[in-house]
Amino acid sequence: MHVGQQTVLSLRERRKLETSALIQRAALELARDHGVEGVTIEAICEAAGVSQRTFHNYFPFKEAVFVVAPEPLPPAAVEKFLSAPGDLMADVTDLMVAHAAELQKKRWLTTLVLRDVARLHPRLIPLQMAEFFKFDRQIKEVLAVRLGFAADHPSCSALAGAVLGANRSTVDRWLEDPDLYLPDAIRAGLDAMTSLVRQPKIASPGDPATGPSG
């Protein structure tokens, strides 16, 4: 992501992206109804209205069509975060809650990609991780703009890593618990992490800062 910039694509590039998205959407909708194992390349091509040769121009094998980029940060939430003058962690939490709300709307898709595909097809893990790294980069870049740092600044990397780590553990629980509402769970997790980091140090017996115990 390049904050404040737009990427201009050629007509050919736009058509390639549209065709890829068309094939993937058809595959995901079929998998939602029939499961990944119940979907064939032939069925995907028929649903998308393309040839099998076209399919293989975009995806080297069937399961690769189920590797999906993470939902991007909502533009309105990014704009609000970048212009907010308030508490950084509170604003980061609001940003991630807004993102979680988008994931909640597409729960079936996230569950299909992260649970039903990636876990059952190990060879897809590197491909899916590559997509996650792109999202990680987006988080770092947004933080960098807010803080006035370079995207690879250690502070941006550390904060992004902590936030994403907390979020992924929450998403793992969400995938297994159909009653869990992701935005609320994300807020609770990040609030708990923030409180833990900010709490005053509790001296233990014998701590040099407090003198000998007893």
Contacts of 144 (CB under 8 A, 6+ apart): 150, 151, 153, 156
pLDDT tens string, the chain, 214 residues long: the values are 445 444 466 888 888 889 999 999 999 899 888 888 889 999 999 999 999 999 999 999 888 898 888 889 999 999 999 998 889 999 999 999 999 999 999 898 888 888 777 777 777 788 888 888 889 999 999 999 999 999 889 999 999 999 999 999 999 999 999 899 999 999 999 999 999 888 876 656 665 555 554 4
CA separation for the pair 96, 110 (Å, rounded): 16
| pTM of the full structure | 0.76
CA separation for the pair 160, 165 (Å, rounded): 8
DSSP category for residue 61:
S
- The encoded tokens of residue 163 equal 């936030």
> Which residue in 57, 48, 53, 61 sits closest to 21, CA to CA?
48
- The encoded tokens of residue 158 equal 């550390």
**Ordered structural domains, the chain, with CATH:** 11-66 (1.10.10.60), 75-198 (1.10.357.10)
Res 127: pLDDT: 81
> Which residue in 140, 168, 165 sits closest to 155, CA to CA?
140
